[in-house]
Structure 1
């Protein structure tokens, strides 16, 4: 039995939904269908989720939202009319859109979460109606009825473990269950959304909950590629990869999955198959717990991300000062800031952060508090910072990977600011300047794939 998830591009129009319908009809094991909100139909188009965010802001600021409401209704109407869904089934969807401002919300964060979540919620209702109209034994299943309960964080909810027991009751469903992605409900019955990649998270949760044999994640690419296709023409496709490799690469900017999206599938040991809605017969990429090491390619993928910054501090005899690390980490904890890495020398220390956690004011506060606590000789933030990741399970069995990578970067005059090999030995991380990031990825691809 399979859980399948379709992204926004797969559901952007009636033409795309026809492809989805054909995919579901082609395999009677595909019984759990997770849907995103309708995405972009063409370059310059607007996603329904973005229209709903605009609608929410207009509601909060008491602005006229008539045009936005009509634009959202038009998107669902085009899909419904394309399949001759009866008007009496479309009208409740349109009414729900119009009445979103009339609901009661705890505050504006819950309002925003509820508005956004209705992109998926209404699309799942519409897709279920289309499936039934086309002769499939399908029904809409709301996350509340499914038993999904999440923590009380409106825009970054986490699934509560007891939900999996409730989801198990839906295992081996004889119907096709169409379930909206991206959101669930807290214990008070309020809508809360997951973080980035929310529909992927829902798919993984459902797959684990119903003990699926396979979780198929349909996107708009034939496979996951070893490197960003915008940097390298026709890069090598990855036929198989492990969860660990996917996590490492997602952390450094791989755009197929947010790095937390597959955790429920990992916990449930559910194999994931990334496939293309527009080319469903292509084998795609399998992501699973283990795989055979490659004799040809020790490296599976290469990625970079510029969403990092670093705090550098220098102090003579830093390595002799007992409790210095504790003082710094206590200050970070006080401000609810996590750190990514902390490479150090005998007299200096660099702390690497996801810069989305910081503001210019907070950086000044951290510098002041850390300076008062440890009295460093030098301390400053650097923002021209990218993380470059070289990832591959087969790297553990090869000698000289680090040498080849460093040489390839040096040949392109790319300076290394930091080097860190993970304890698992399946990844090597380089800190480099932002301006060098794209060239560094290309240099490593040429070294490990073209050669």
Structure 2
């Protein structure tokens, strides 16, 4: 049995819906279908989720929301008209949409979560109706009826373990199940949404809960590529990669998955296949547990870079002999509610790398002042001009010259290396550079290991 998830671009128009119907019909093992909200139809278009957020804000501000609601309805109406559905489906969608404005919520966060979730909710209702109209028996399954329980916060949900027990008890019939992504229900019956990659998370949870043989994630690209195609021209496609390679690369900037989105599938040991709705015959990229791996022809699977980092550099003579210095530093971070990303060190030096997007200028200023007063370093510098490049591959652990080749590819092209660190798993090498050098570094590393190869396995 397969769980299959379709992204927003795959469900944005009637034409795209038609491709989805064909994909579902083509494989009877595709029993569970997870929907996203309708995405952009063209450049400059607005996603339905963004319209729902606009709708929610207008309700909160007690302003006229009629025009916004009409825009949302029109998106579903357009798809309904394409398949010449009976009015009952679009009337159900209209009713659910209009009811939101008069529903009482405990606070604004709960209201926002409920409004946002309805993009996926209504699209699942619509897709179930479309499948039935096309002769493919299908059933809309509300997450509440499936026991899809979440905790956390209304707009930052966490799946509860009870969900997996509830899903394992579900009795499948002959029809396809259409399940809305992005949200679940708290134990008191409130709608809570996941963060980024919400529908991906839902698909991964269902894959584990239903003990699927495969989780197919349909998007708008043929595969995951070795490097960003905006940085490297026509990069090679990755046919197969491990879960932990995917996690390392997602963290450093790969945009196919939010880096935590497939954790439930990892926990359930369910392989994930990233495929293209617009080219479903392409094999895509298979993400597998480590024990299912292969002997890679190339030690490198992927190269990613991110410019969202900053670094705090501390120098203190005989730092390596000072007991408790790092502990005091961590206590300061704790007081500010700050987590750090990495902390490479030397005998007299310490560099702490942060995700800059999580820090305000005021926080940085106060943090640095506290560290100066409490720890009295000989030298301290906050560095905003910082980028991290991740070179990832299961084969790195089994080759002795990979690190040398990476260093040579950068130094021979006058790219200064500010930091280099190999993780304990030995499948990733992290390199710190100046921001302006990051893209060039990725290209030179790519050229060193791939040249004109078309694919990497």
The TM-score bracket by the shorter chain reads over 0.9
> 2-side partners of 1:275 and 1:171: how far apart?
28
Shift of 1:314: 2.1
Shift of 1:399: 1.5
Asked if 1:440 corresponds to 2:437, the answer is no
Q: Is 1:3–1:212's contact at 8 Å kept on the other side of the alignment? A: yes
> 1-side partners of 2:48 and 2:6: how far apart?
15
Shift of 1:171: 5.7
Q: How far does the alpha carbon of each residue in 1:315-347 deviate from its partner, in whole angstroms, 9 at most, with x for none?
A: 232222211111111222233221110011222
293, 296, 304: which is aligned to 1:294? Answer: 296
Q: Is 1:31–1:173's contact at 8 Å kept on the other side of the alignment? A: no
- The count of aligned residue pairs is 450
Q: How far does the alpha carbon of each residue in 1:140-172 deviate from its partner, in whole angstroms, 9 at most, with x for none?
A: 111111111111312221111111000112265
Deviates most, 212-221 or 173-182: 173-182
Asked if 1:20 corresponds to 2:10, the answer is no
> 1-side partners of 2:6 and 2:93: how far apart?
20
> 2-side partners of 1:386 and 1:117: how far apart?
35
The 5 A counterparts of 1:292-371 are 292-295=294-297, 297-371=298-372
Q: How far does the alpha carbon of each residue in 1:79-127 deviate from its partner, in whole angstroms, 9 at most, with x for none?
A: 1111112112211211222232222222222222211111111111111
Q: Is 1:56–1:111's contact at 8 Å kept on the other side of the alignment? A: yes
Asked if 1:61 corresponds to 2:64, the answer is no
Shift of 1:173: 4.2
Shift of 1:3: 0.3
Residue 151 of structure 1 aligns to a residue whose secondary structure is strand
Deviates most, 164-173 or 335-344: 164-173
Shift of 1:243: 0.4
Q: How far does the alpha carbon of each residue in 1:269-325 deviate from its partner, in whole angstroms, 9 at most, with x for none?
A: 001111111111111111101311223x11111100112111222223222221111
Q: Is 1:113–1:155's contact at 8 Å kept on the other side of the alignment? A: yes
Residue 447 of structure 1 aligns to a residue whose secondary structure is helix
Q: Is 1:306–1:387's contact at 8 Å kept on the other side of the alignment? A: yes
**How well do the aligned residues superpose, as a CA RMSD in angstroms?**
1.4
> 1-side partners of 2:310 and 2:153: how far apart?
26
> 2-side partners of 1:99 and 1:361: how far apart?
42
> 2-side partners of 1:383 and 1:108: how far apart?
35
Segments ≥4 residues shifted beyond 6 Å: none
Q: Which residue pairs with 1:109 in the alignment?
A: 109
Q: Which residue pairs with 2:455 in the alignment?
A: none
Q: How far does the alpha carbon of each residue in 1:250-274 deviate from its partner, in whole angstroms, 9 at most, with x for none?
A: 0110011111011000000001111
Q: Which residue pairs with 1:259 in the alignment?
A: 259
Q: Which residue pairs with 2:450 in the alignment?
A: 449
For residues 133 and 151 of structure 1, do their structure 2 counterparts lie closer, same or farther at Cα, with a shift above 3 Å needed? same
Q: How far does the alpha carbon of each residue in 1:198-252 deviate from its partner, in whole angstroms, 9 at most, with x for none?
A: 1000000000000001111111111111111122222111111100111111011
> 2-side partners of 1:322 and 1:134: how far apart?
71
> 2-side partners of 1:132 and 1:239: how far apart?
34
For residues 215 and 374 of structure 1, do their structure 2 counterparts lie closer, same or farther at Cα, with a shift above 3 Å needed? same
> 2-side partners of 1:70 and 1:340: how far apart?
45
What is the TM-score normalised by the length of structure 2? 0.96
Q: Which residue pairs with 1:73 in the alignment?
A: 73
> 1-side partners of 2:268 and 2:192: how far apart?
23
Q: Which residue pairs with 1:164 in the alignment?
A: 164
Shift of 1:409: 1.2
> 2-side partners of 1:258 and 1:171: how far apart?
31
In structure 1, stretches of 5+ residues that fail to align are none
Q: Is 1:312–1:348's contact at 8 Å kept on the other side of the alignment? A: yes
Q: Which residue pairs with 1:233 in the alignment?
A: 233
